[in-house]
Chains A and B, each alone.
Chain A
Amino acid sequence: MHNFYGLLLFVIFGMLALFFGRYFRNVKNLKASLVQVSKSFQELDAQAKLILQTDLELNKTQEALDKRLNGLDALHKISRLISTTLIEDEIFHRLNQPFLIELGFEKFLILTFQNNGPFTVRVDFGFPRNEVAPLGKTFNSKPQILQPVKQGKIISSLSAPKDIKDIFTGILSVRQFIATPILSQKNVLGIILAGNQSESYTMTEGDEEVIAILADQIGHSLANARLFEQVFRSSQELERKVQDRTKELTSALEEVKRISKTKSDFISAVSHELRTPLTSIKGYASILITGKVGAVPDKVRERLEKINKHTDNLVGLINNLLDISRIESGRVEMKFLEHDIPSIIANVQDLLTPQLRDKNIQFTTAFDDALPNVFMDAGQIERVFINLINNAIKFTPISGTITAKVTHDSRKVTVGIADTGIGIKEEDIKKLFTEFYRVENEINQNVKGTGLGLALVKKIVEAHGGQIWVTSTVSVGTCFYFTLPTGPKTSTPEA
């Protein structure tokens, strides 16, 4: 029996040992698993730490990028606004807008100055109204504060020494700031001061760049505006001067016209008055010469013939004066009909043959093929040829040559009367067509003239819409040119 109980106890103890052995083994295994789970948990936690720190860095970068993008966006808007005006005040008016805050600053102050003069506050943003004027006064009374910036240096709380930082943060009541010069090509035009008070704003080097870009844009716009202002004022001044001068010239022209009309009227009146007695003088002299009143001694006849001749000269002078006066005032009736120039030249040549033969002068002509007819007053143009060819004969020595050349193009005919005469000096050519002007030379001293011939020729040619000019070489010869338009003209009624 004892053996049975002993065996039973043995079995029971054995089973208990087995049970507890397994139990403790399980507990040990569980502990090991727990340690492993705990370890894995720790590893996961360590990874979570890494993830969080990486995420924080990424977010900081993203925030900086967002801030930069917002700043660039704001810069773009500002740039468009200020570059579309050329008025300086308008530039600052457009800058004084709340979107400056999108640049990432709570406070803005923009100061300008000219030629080292005092600062003027042009833009203020984020400052209480009653603080703006005192700020301007502070900077003006202590110009040394902004002197480095005026010299083109950028100062910011990121890099400035503590004493300078304290000055700016104290004056502007900010924690962080930037002071940037506004530059043009030549000099500093102003200063931008931007700052932040709040802890939530953190300034970076990117902010310095953004403000520097803004300063550049403002500088360009200001320079353009000032240049425009300068140019505008100059052009206004010029306009005013031109207007004044135009007024003066108009007055002078009116005066000249008035004088010219007075002169023409005078000449016309005097000429008319002179012609009547001259006609009587010539008439009586002619009657006396005929002997109808009684026999005339030879010496008396000679003198009467001189009276006749001089009277004729006077009448000729008066007629020329009257013609010039009438042509000037448009009172000559020009009859424009188609004529050919060669036939007119031939007529004139015939008329002047005796004078040509007296001096053995050879007269030649040279005409273009298919010369068109020209609308002209044939009588007046004949007078032109008579005048020019007569002058050529007068100033060409014996056995010289006179050539009449006529060329044409689609719009005009050009006539040239060239001689191998004594020529005309340069200084005389300019005055040749002036009334009463006679070149000083031996021939003119000996041959009387009125000095009206070329003036009349010029008037007649210009009345036809043409031009007249002369080229000459002393001791070689002279050539007179004139043009006549080929198109039809309307005959002018007598005024």
Chain B
Amino acid sequence: MATRVGIGFSQNYNTRLAAQEAAEQAKKYLQSTRVDLAIVFSTIHYAPAEVIPVIYDIMNRTRIIGASTPSIILPSQVANRGVAVMAIISDQIRFESGCVPYLKLKDKTEAGRELVKSTLSEFGQKQRQLFFCIADGLLDGLSDLIDGIKQELMYNLPMIMIGSSDDFRFQQTFQYYKDTAMSEGATSLVLGGRMQVGISIQHGFKPIGKPRTVDKVDGPLILSINGRKASALYEQYFGTEAETLKKGPSSPLSFRYPLGVRLPGSQQYILRNVLGVLDGGALICQDKVPKGAEVNIMIGNQASHLEAAAEAAKDVRAQLTLKKPSFVLIFESITRCKLMGRGAAEEISTIKNIFGDGVPMIGTFCLNQFFRFSQDPSTDPWLVQNGNVIIVGVL
């Protein structure tokens, strides 16, 4: 047996029935009682504490990871409400999962190391190909968690971390591990064995206007740019509209016009959404921006974001030597959910067309993204990012 994947989805208004329907539908496609891994995403309409135990039972108490999300990405639609399950069984791919609860109370670097140890300890000596982690996207200090993970992992292991999200209220998000739904925790998955993995990330934003230099920072705060208070950058371009940045991540300026930080020696930009403005004009970002970095206001539209998603999908396909993947995972930044609006369905359709019909696909919208594909630690991008679409294809 190679790899079999089943996807189930339900929008039943009864929470337990929705979980049951989604799980049974996914399991049906496996044509087996054995399930090696279940990936679960659900929207806030369904209480995770009720959803996860039902799915765990139906999936014969196998490994479960997943998260809450504002919308679920499926091959046929982007659903604003529902429960989705991807069930996988494979003789070639090895899975192992782990979790660390109560992150808020712990030293995050240590927690990151603990997470890796708990995941890899069960994995054994088989070849590891990808480390994937879902942490609570509302937590501060995720960079430290990533530091801890990196310290424990071998540098040549590709790594993706996403932050779980809710319905844009930024109040509470959930992470799923086995039969438990937790908040302020992290859950992880390692994949390995006889498999190929293709990973690509794009964001579709382009720089606009003059580049500026960040000259004063304090952790995730940008204090001044080009000798002036940092918020002056947005004030200059948007006038009084820049006041809305004080509203936080719900401000349209935050997700539509992020800051682009240019990677040294390259034309690539990583994105930072402005999460707020302090009284002195300092900009609050999700994570740090190095002093001396060149920054631009970034702009994109539906066409550029669609193009980015297509590029990412084609890149993954090329990495898999143009073979059809066994399954595809899509992690979209929550800001793209707002950006794409009703065009989100077209994006998924574009991705689906590139991989071909019948490729099982599931995805989520997440707060914060971290990814490391390179084997050279010195070329690590600056930790946490946002605004990207990450596509993972597994063969």
Chain A residues close to B by CB (< 8 Å)? 41, 44-45, 48-49, 51-53, 55-56, 59-60, 62-63, 66, 69-70, 97-99, 102, 198-200
Contacts and interface: CB of A to CB of B under 8 A. Distances in A.
B165 to A, nearest CB: 13
A265 to B, nearest CB: 72
Contacts of A200: 168-169, 250
Contacts of A66: 341-342
B237 A55 contact: no
B252 A63 contact: yes
B20 to A, nearest CB: 18
Interface string B225-266: 000000000001111010000011010110011000000000
Which of A51, A59, A99, A102: most chain B CB closer than 10 A? A59
B209 interface: yes
Contacts of B241: 53, 56
B126 interface: no
Given A48-B209, A199-B247, A59 B252 contact: yes
B237 A52 contact: yes
A53 B342 contact: no
Given A48-B208, A66-B341, A102-B80, A53 B239 contact: yes
B257 A52 contact: yes
A97 to B, nearest CB: 6
Contact of B341 (A41, A45, A55, A62): A62
B81 interface: yes
Given A44-B209, A52-B237, A199-B250, 5 more contacts: A52-B257, A53-B238, A98-B45, A198-B250, A200-B169
6 contacts: A49-B237, A53-B237, A56-B256, A70-B342, A102-B80, A200-B250
A179 B247 CA distance: 26
Contacts of A53: 237-239, 241
A66 B250 CA distance: 17
| Interface SS majority for chain A | helix
Given A45-B209, A102-B80, A51 B299 contact: yes
Contacts of A59: 252, 256
Contact of B13 (A55, A70, A97): A97
B252 A60 contact: yes
Given A69-B342, A98-B13, A98-B81, A199 B238 contact: no
B256 A51 contact: no
On chain B, which size bracket covers the interface?
Answer: 20 to 34
B297 interface: yes
| Interface SS majority for chain B | mixed
Nearest to B80: A102
Nearest to A51: B208
Nearest to B234: A52
Contacts of A199: 247-248, 250
B252 A56 contact: yes
Nearest to B297: A52
A74 to B, nearest CB: 11
B14 to A, nearest CB: 12
Contact of A52 (B13, B299, B342): B299
Nearest to B236: A49
Nearest to B13: A97
Contacts of B236: 49
B192 to A, nearest CB: 40
The 9 closest A-B pairs by CB, nearest first: A200-B250, A48-B209, A66-B341, A48-B208, A45-B210, A52-B237, A49-B237, A98-B45, A200-B168
Interface string B125-156: 00000000000000000000000000000000
A124 to B, nearest CB: 15
B250 A56 contact: no
A201 to B, nearest CB: 8
A49 B209 CA distance: 7
B253 to A, nearest CB: 8
Contacts of A55: 256, 299, 301
A48 B236 CA distance: 11
Contacts of A99: 81
Given A45-B209, A60-B252, A98-B13, A52 B80 contact: no
Contacts of B297: 48, 52
A446 B141 CA distance: 129
A52 B169 contact: no
Contacts of A45: 209-210
Nearest to A48: B209
Interface string B204-229: 00001110000000000000000000
Contacts of A56: 238, 241, 252-253, 256-257
Contacts of A69: 342
Contacts of B299: 51-52, 55
A160 B281 CA distance: 34
A227 B317 CA distance: 62
Nearest to A60: B252
A282 to B, nearest CB: 97
Contacts of B301: 55
B207 to A, nearest CB: 9
Contacts of A62: 341
A102 B342 CA distance: 13
A56 B13 CA distance: 37
A92 to B, nearest CB: 15
Interface in B248-300: 248, 250, 252-253, 256-257, 297, 299
A59 B239 CA distance: 17
A66 B339 CA distance: 11
Which of A41, A97, A199: most chain B CB closer than 10 A? A199
A146 B81 CA distance: 33
Contacts of A49: 209, 236-237
Contacts of A63: 252, 341
